[in-house]
Structure 1
Amino acid sequence: MALPPQDERTLPAAVLRDIEQRPLEQALADLQALVEQHGHVIVVCSPAAPTALRHRLHTLRSLMETDRVALFRPELPPLGLAVLARQLRQLASCDLSPGVLASAGRLLVHYIHAGALLNSVTRLDHVPVGLKSHAKSWVPGSQFGVLAHPEPRLVRITPEARLPGPEFGTWMLVAKGQLPSDWVTGTLAPAWKVQGLREVPLPAASPGWWGTGRIVEFCSYLPDLSVLYQLVTSVRRGRCHWCGIDVIGDRCVFCSATPPVHDSPPLGQLENRRAVG
C-alpha cells in the first residue's frame, strides 16, 4: 500500500508490518510512538484484511485509550486502497486538521475507479458474478474486465467490451500480474480518456482479493494536490460533539460519534408554542 510519492510534498507512509503477528507489547509501542511523533494517526486498512489483523488494530486502539487513532476501512480493492492512502499522504502536507484529513478519505473514495483484468472469475468474491460469467470463465482464453468501484460491473473481453469510467480527468495506475496488459493500456485507458498512465508493482494482497494471480489491476484517480485540496476544503465542516475535533460528514472518524438526534416535540406542544407566540 505504500506507493511512491506522487510529488515532492507527499509525506512518507508509516507501514505497520505484520502487526497481528508480532508480540502485543511491541505492536503497542510502535503505534504509541507514531501517535507521540505525529499527534494523530490514520490507519488505512482493507475490510478484506484477515480477521486477526482487524482484531489486533481494535485491541491496540482500546489499550491506548485514545481518540487520536482513526481506523479507516474503505471498500476498495488493494490498488485503489493504496491510491487513497497516497492521496491522504499528499493532503497531510496541507493546513488541514486531523479530523478533516481523516474525514477526507470518505470524500475522495467517490473519485476513484478501481478494477482489474482477470482470466477467471470463479474465485471472485468481492464483485457480484452471474452464473453465465462463471461458466464462460472455464472457456480457455477467456478474459474479463471487472470494475469493483464505484459501481460493480463485469464484462467479458471482446472488441466491443467497455467499462463505465470517470466523467472527469484522471490518471491511471496499472499493476501487472501474470497477464498481458494490452486491453487495459490500449483500450480501457483511451476509452476513459486518462491524462497519464503509470505502472507500479502488483500489491501483495491483489491475487487473494481478486481470486487469481493472472491479473492486471488498474485504478484511475485525481493526482493533483491542488485539486484534492480544493475538493476537501469546499465541503462544509462541523465539530464532533463528543471529542470536539473538526470533521467532514456526519461521523467522526476518530471517536466514531455521530451527531445527537433531537426528538421532535409532540404536535400538541408545537401548536401550544405557536399559540403562545
Structure 2
Amino acid sequence: MPTAIAVTSADLVLPPTDQQTPDAVVLPAPETQPLASAVADLQLLLDRYGHVIVVFPSSVPTATARRLHAVRSLLESDRIALVKSDLPPLGVAVLARQLRQLSACDFSPGVVATAARLLAHYIYAGAVLGSVAKLDRVPVTLKSHVKGWMPGAQFAVLAGPVPQLIRIGPGAEPPAGPEFVTQLVLARGQLQTDWPAGSLVPRWQVQGVQEAPLPAESPRWWGTGRLVEFAAYLPDIAILHQLVSSVRRETCHWCRMELIGDRCGFCSAPVPTAPATATAPPAGRHGPASRVP
C-alpha cells in the first residue's frame, strides 16, 4: 500500500501523470472541520496506509499550521510527516505530485518524506507579475520596487532554486533555467500575458505545457493577483527514481526511519555528525586529504 500523500487544499492536487500515480488526500481547513473530526480522519488514514506525509506551503495561514501540529501531537504518532516547503504554491503542487509518484515506488516512507528537500532543488518555480511592490518572499531591489508601481510594468520572477528577477521588455533575457528536459505547468491569475509560453518554452527545454487552476494561496504569496504562475519540473518518474536512489541513505537514530539528507522527515531529528578528531591527519604532497561528504 503506497504511503498517503496529503495536502492542505484541493488546488495543490495536480492531475496524475499516469495510471500508477496515486491520488492525494485533501485535508479540510480548520474553519470547516472540528479538531476531533480532523483527528479521527487522520487516524483512519494511518490505519489504511500506515504512514501519512502532509505537504504544504510555508505561507499557509497560522491556523492551518497549528491544526496540523495539534493533530499530530494528539495522535502521538511518529508515522505522520509534516513537510513544509518554501516553494510558491504551484511549485508545492508539483512537489506533492512528484512525492505521489515516488510513493508508488519501492521507497520507504522515510525516504519519500526526505526526498522533498532534494526534489525542490529541481523545480524552477516562478511567476510573471504585474507588480513587485508587495513582493516580500523573493529579494527585490529598491529600483525594482519603484518600477513595480509603474502602470503596465511586468516582471518575471524566479523564486527557486536561485532567486532571479527581470523586468520584461524588448531584448530582456528570461531567467536562467534548468539544464535538463522539463515540462511546464501554468496557472493564470488576473494578468493577461503569453510570456511564459513564448519565452520560457524555447529556452528551458520544455517538452510539454499544461495548465492548472491558480492556487488560492498564490496571490498572497506573490503579493498580487495580477500574475501568471509557472513551474518547470522533471516529469519522468524513472529519472526521479534514479535521482533519489543515488543519494546515500541513513537510519534516524531517534525513530529508526530511513532517510536521505541530514534530517528525518518524520521526527525532525538531525543526522548526528561524526565527532571531530583530536589530531588532524598530515597533509600530502598535494594538500590536505579530501573528505567525502
* TM bracket, shorter-chain basis: over 0.9
TM, length-normalised to structure 1: 0.93
Q: Give 2:129's match in structure 1, choosing from 112, 118, 122.
A: 118
Deviation at 1:262, TM superposition (A): 5.6
Contact conserved, 2:30 with 2:63, CA < 8 A, in 1?
no
Structure whose alpha-carbon radius of gyration is higher: 1
Task: Tell me the equivalent position of 2:178.
Answer: 166
1:206 aligns with 2:218: yes
Question: Structure 1 residues 26 and 196, CA, compared in 2 at 3 Å: closer, same or farther?
Answer: same
CA deviations on 1:70-126 (whole Å, 9 max, x unpaired) are 010121000000000000001111111111111111111111000000101111121
1: distance between equivalents of 2:277 and 2:239?
44
CA deviations on 1:149-193 (whole Å, 9 max, x unpaired) are 111111110122221100111111111111123111111221212
Question: Structure 1 residues 266 and 15, CA, compared in 2 at 3 Å: closer, same or farther?
Answer: same
> Match of 1:193, as an amino acid?
Q
Task: Tell me the equivalent position of 2:252.
Answer: 240
Q: Give 1:103's match in structure 2, choosing from 114, 129, 149.
A: 114
Task: Tell me the equivalent position of 1:5.
Answer: 16
TM, length-normalised to structure 2: 0.88
Contact conserved, 1:121 with 1:211, CA < 8 A, in 2?
yes
Task: Tell me the equivalent position of 1:180.
Answer: 192
2: distance between equivalents of 1:177 and 1:266?
59
Task: Tell me the equivalent position of 1:30.
Answer: 41
2: distance between equivalents of 1:32 and 1:151?
38
1: distance between equivalents of 2:51 and 2:154?
44
Task: Tell me the equivalent position of 1:259.
Answer: 271
SS of 2:134's equivalent in the other structure is coil
1:131 aligns with 2:152: no
> Match of 1:244, as an amino acid?
R
Instruction: List 4+ stretches of structure 1 deviating above 4 A.
Output: 261-267
Deviation at 1:213, TM superposition (A): 1.1
SS of 2:212's equivalent in the other structure is strand
1: distance between equivalents of 2:43 and 2:63?
20
CA deviations on 1:10-68 (whole Å, 9 max, x unpaired) are 10000002135521101111111111110000000111111111111111111111110
Contact conserved, 1:20 with 1:56, CA < 8 A, in 2?
no
Question: Structure 1 residues 238 and 20, CA, compared in 2 at 3 Å: closer, same or farther?
Answer: farther
2: distance between equivalents of 1:20 and 1:244?
35
Question: Structure 1 residues 265 and 157, CA, compared in 2 at 3 Å: closer, same or farther?
Answer: closer
Structure 2 segments unaligned to the other structure (5+ residues)? 1-11, 280-293
> Match of 1:12, as an amino acid?
D
Deviation at 1:142, TM superposition (A): 0.6
1:51 aligns with 2:88: no
Identical-residue share of aligned pairs (%): 59
Question: Structure 1 residues 185 and 63, CA, compared in 2 at 3 Å: closer, same or farther?
Answer: same
1: distance between equivalents of 2:139 and 2:277?
45
Tell me the matched-pair count.
Answer: 267
1:154 aligns with 2:160: no
SS of 1:111's equivalent in the other structure is coil
Task: Tell me the equivalent position of 2:9.
Answer: none
CA deviations on 1:249-274 (whole Å, 9 max, x unpaired) are 1211101112335645756xxxxxxx
2: distance between equivalents of 1:173 and 1:29?
35
Task: Tell me the equivalent position of 2:206.
Answer: 194
CA deviations on 1:131-150 (whole Å, 9 max, x unpaired) are 11111122211101000111
Task: Tell me the equivalent position of 1:42.
Answer: 53
